Structure 1
Amino acid sequence: MRDIVFTRASGWIPNVIREDGELKLMLGAGADANHAPRTFTFPIGEAHLAVIREDLARHLLLWSAVIPLCDAAGTRGGLDEDAAVALLDPILLSAPADVDAFFRHIRWDRGQLIAHGADIDLLERGQVCAAMRAATETSNRKRAQEYDANRRRAERGTVLGPLDAALLRYTGQYVHGATVPRRMPDAVDPALLTEVMRVIATAEQACAGMRICRDPRRGKRATDKRDWERMAATVDAAVRRAHPGLVDDAVRTVSFLMCSEAADRSRSAPMEDDEEPAGDRSDFGGGARKTLLSFTDDKGVEKEWRADGPRTATAVFWEFVEDRSAGDNEVFTIEDEKMGEGIQLHFYADSLARITTVREGEGGADPEYRVEYSLVDGIGGYRTLVSAFVRGGCAALDQHGSWIADAAEFERARRRRDAD
């Protein structure tokens, strides 16, 4: 039978229970293999209970020292009760100076104490008892997270100035640098907000007109990595030039914000239309704009596009790719059966083949095709080639890249490109 003998307002601080007549400290820490919280107990005495009841600071210090033992138990192991019991007298019953000395030789959870109001400067000087004079039962996890973030920055030699910190708070990345940034002006000290907005304006001006397009090869929400890198570099250079005193973390958070917002705009918009209005097509090799096309993938799935439909060929094709592209489905074909020509996109090899019917098959003979290959420079290169084919057929591709008819020669060129 288990009865709760003493508990504090915060349910996370260890409770004292009586189990089968024995006093025990009970705490939750870590998780089991199924990600459910683990609970640990170990025996304590009446003298320990008396201190726990009256002295919040000592209670919290004991908790911080037991947590590493719980961590060591992992997802299945048992608590080292002997080690836990050995913490009781030195932490709960010793003089403050002896407690400080004891903590210099054991593992303990600093973040837990900081979350409960410990004085950080005193903790770092090893004066743990004095640091806990302002301890509170309520926990402020954000305070501990910010401490950990600053400690990690210090380990790599980064010290934030007031404006650096304000920019990280504005984007919500002060604690977690991997968090998707957003605009949080209320998180910034009002005295620094004007200066923060000046930096943001510099970034916005630098990337005005730039876009991060979708990359349908990688799914519905993927965007072009090269576009992202190009925008980040542009913003980075402009911000460093206009605000040379900012540390790398602050500059990166601003460029990350600009790129994330641009990528979100692209994801929420319809698939980009790469075609141009009808008009003079002399630049496209004299071919006629397509009126009926068939799209297929490497799994044999087919989609038809007609010019009298509501969408352009490029938009429909890239949506088809977005829906169908996968690690085992990286070859897509666009065919104009009437004109006897088509292109085949090889995403796995960053290459494209254009295929032209030289002679129709007669009397049961197979048709004769001319196949030429070209290397492709990222999703932007694919978009250019697809758009040119839709506007003017295979002839319109002459001006885009170098075309190689010999498959072996092309493979050597591809390997040279990949090696470089």
Structure 2
Amino acid sequence: MDFEYSDKVRGLQKRVGAFMDEFIFPAEKQFEAEMDAARKAGNPWQPAPVIEALKDKARAAGLWNLFLPESQYGAGLTNLEYAPLCELMGRSPIGAEPFNCSAPDTGNMETLVRYGTPAQHEQWLKPLLDGTIRSAFAMTEPAVASSDATNIQARIERDGDHYVINGRKWWTSGANDPRCKILIFMGKTDPDHPNRHQQQSMILVPMDTPGVKVLRHLPVFGYDDAPHGHAEVLFENVRVPASNMLLGEGRGFEIAQGRLGPGRIHHCMRLIGVAERALEAMCRRALSRVAFGRKVADQGVTRERIAEARIMIDQARFLVLNAAYKMDTVGNKDARQEIAMIKVIAPNMACQVLDWAMQAHGGGAVSDDFGLARAYAHARTLRFADGPDEVHRNAIAKVELGRYLEHA
């Protein structure tokens, strides 16, 4: 395997990096100011003007929809080619959306590309690709341990030319955003099917359908993540056309495996960018502060942490590139162990590097002055999102043990 970036990728790296330096990083404070003003006005759930302006700039620069491998709709990049670009976006908390490369839209667009009908493409995929609407993914439920997705209790029941949906979901990221017009809902169509992985289905639910009610937003370590946010959503006798079903009844797990693989690796790519920026901040801080008669950078413990951070970041990067390579060459299903491995290592690595960076910054690190606290909150949640560490470790071990069972 060869992880050397092609001339095309190096050119895109340069362009994305320049765009980040010129437009994204300088806009971070403006974004926070706009969100603070919206909160004070009583409604943070509205688009930030600065983000919409950045989208126009990125589209004009030809830096739009850089994801979507093996698709006529994207930039024609493989997962391996997209990885270093996604990492650059991850260096800023507002870095992905201006390029139309933010979650959960990327995963939902990949789902529609792979499993949607031409009519679904026309109605929902194209507006998402244009960046004129946003989307959400409704899978996790508060009443059950959703780390085991077979526990899902929400129902999708056929009624003539429609399906009737009932259930309660939470951590439905993006549902608070007024631009969110469509969500992908996972529920049971056949709870008595003998194969528990064929009981579930996925279906498209427009947010304005009667019976869809956003109950509350869910803060993450005190952050509201506006205007995107995370919501608890109630579905009461929600009727949608039967044509909204994705791929067919009983194929929800099949779709989930196709959707979550790309979603997981994108999170990991961005986390490497988060960790790189944290290490940079740690080094700069350590070189500028004096404690006990020496620069913090001259303290042995600081140097050890800087060294370990560099090692951990590079380890994670190479594992992510390997997973991307496997996804491109053998497919998401056969790359499931590599995807599970990076989903464990990347969030844990980012949390550790951020923790060390916070220590180097002292008490101010737990405030919002340096952005480290918010970044840590985000990285820590990714040890749950798209499956908790424990589930991925179990999957890794099952694949590993399977090799020996075959020989036995």
* Same fold by TM-score greater than 0.5: no
TM-score (norm 2): 0.21
Answer 1 or 2: higher relative contact order, Cα 8 Å, separation at least 6.
2
Flag the structure with larger Rg.
Answer: 1
TM-score (norm 1): 0.21
